[in-house]
Amino acid sequence: MDRQKYSLVVLGPSADRYPDLLGGRLRKGFEDLGLDPNEDLEVVSPADADQFDEYQKSPVGLWFGGQDDPGEAHRELLGRLQSVGATVLPLVEDIRRFPDLVPDELKPINGLQWDNEQVPGDVLRAFRLTRELRQTFISYRRTDSRRVAEDLFNELSQRKYTVFLDTASVESAVPFQDALWDRLADMDLLVLLDSPNALTSRWVNDELVQVNNLGLGVLQLIWPGHKPYGETQLSTRMQLAPSDFEGGDFGPAGRLTEEALGRVAVMAEQVRIASLAARRRRVVGEFVALVPAGMRADVQAVGALLLRPADGTEVAPEPIGVVLPIVGIPDAWLLYQEQLGLDRLRLRVRGVDDATIMALVKRGGVRVLYDGLGVRKGRADHIIWLNDHLPLGAIPIDSQPGEAEGAKELFGWLESLSRSDPADGGLA
């Protein structure tokens, strides 16, 4: 079967605002993730209701609110979405008037102002194309930019980010470096405060090396008059001007203006999506390099990797395994969500039906794959423990798999798949 499109149902009295307010930004998010919005995204309106099957599409809904009556067709399609438990995000022009601009059934739902920069990311998250949480790490030299770091911590936290800042986020009585690497391993994005003395800090230098190893995206805020360092030339750069600082003071006591903080937050949201895609590509690339002879991995921009016999005589031999690459560190909640994703047939894979996928789950032929670089031993041990208690297990991969404890499990699992026979449906 062909890969399903991601179905976005646009409803509400102001639905005609979608193309101008969100259409371009959402298409950009699809492109950043390696998808083709022309092929992978369909926008559904009430005019399409007769041909639309909400049970097969796993849709996401947007309700553009307003005071006018949208009509029965809009209300009916909203009811159909809610009856199958689809995510519906209410959007309004003025969040202060939210209760007056949405129907009663949407009032209990947290909505957003429709020009909010996080709306495209929330839609991608509802499609399960990005992570549930927004997480960022601020790297800075305390003697240069402590106040900017603190203000940025507060600004991003208010915008629903989980922000790591060493002075606020490192627990007591734990090794500092272990805490840093463990948190970096779970991030979407690093914000580098590139002040004049930033890279004279050992910690900033070490963090950037680790970021490069992880494939993590960097938003680089460059101080006025400061030449960016060559080591960070793959970052997304934002040049700051004296006017971006309160009173023009960009020295050690300087603080960014509210307007500048807002621009940084908007840029962070844009860079975050590309960073998530880059991190996933790294995990996929490391894994594909380890696939043994006699087996091939069918790679998609998003979603599952299918493992098949390389010497099969069919054009697309039956899969013998499925890999679910993720960004960050798995926990019980994420593994549960991945299991639900399988149960709800949201893999969107070509040529494989749901019965085949679920049979592989039962036989232990499906694994979540994550980057184990930097993960603290205690947390890695906890994931191994979860694997003994949950139907869907997780396996780490890093740049030195031979030295990682989880590598034994990865190679052992691949070996068991290589001995499996798709014809009789069993793992060796």
pLDDT in tens, the chain (428 residues): 456 789 999 999 999 999 999 999 999 999 999 999 999 999 999 999 999 998 877 899 999 999 999 999 999 999 999 999 999 999 999 999 999 999 999 999 999 999 999 999 999 999 989 988 899 999 999 999 999 999 999 999 999 999 998 766 555 545 778 888 999 999 999 999 999 999 888 889 999 989 988 889 999 999 999 988 766 556 899 999 999 999 999 999 999 999 999 999 999 999 999 999 999 999 999 899 889 888 989 888 888 888 988 865 556 678 889 999 999 999 999 999 888 877 655 455 555 777 787 788 888 899 999 999 999 989 999 999 999 888 889 999 874 544 545 567 888 899 888 876 555 444 44
Q: What is the pLDDT of residue 427?
A: 45
Matching CATH number, 6-126, of 3.30.70, 3.40.1760, 3.40.50, 3.30.1150: 3.40.50
- 6-126 against 134-276: fold identical: yes
- The single-letter DSSP state of residue 280 is H
Rg (CA), the chain: 23
- What is the layout of strands, in order, in the sheet containing 236-239? 161-164, 134-139, 189-194, 217-222, 236-239
**CB environment 234-270: b (16+ within 10 A), e (fewer):** ebebbebeeebbbeeebebebbbeeebbebbbebbbb
Task: Return the amino acid letter for 227.
Answer: K
Q: Give the C-alpha separation, 145 to 248, whole Å.
A: 14
Instruction: Kindly report the three-state secondary structure assignment for every residue of 54-108.
Output: HHHHCCEEEEECCCCCCCHHHHHHHHHHHHCCCEEEEEECCHHHHHHHCCHHHCC
pLDDT at 102: 97
Between CA 270 and CA 297 the distance in angstroms is 30
End-to-end CA distance of the chain: 28
User: In this predicted structure, what is the pLDDT of residue 82?
Assistant: 96
CATH 3.40.50.450 fits 134-276, yes or no: yes
Closest CA relative to residue 321, chosen from 344, 300, 291: 291
Question: How many CB atoms neighbour CB 175 within 10 A?
Answer: 11
Residue spans per domain, the chain:
6-126, 134-276, 290-418
Rounded CA-CA distance 15/44 in Å is 11
- Residue 185 gets which letter from DSSP? T
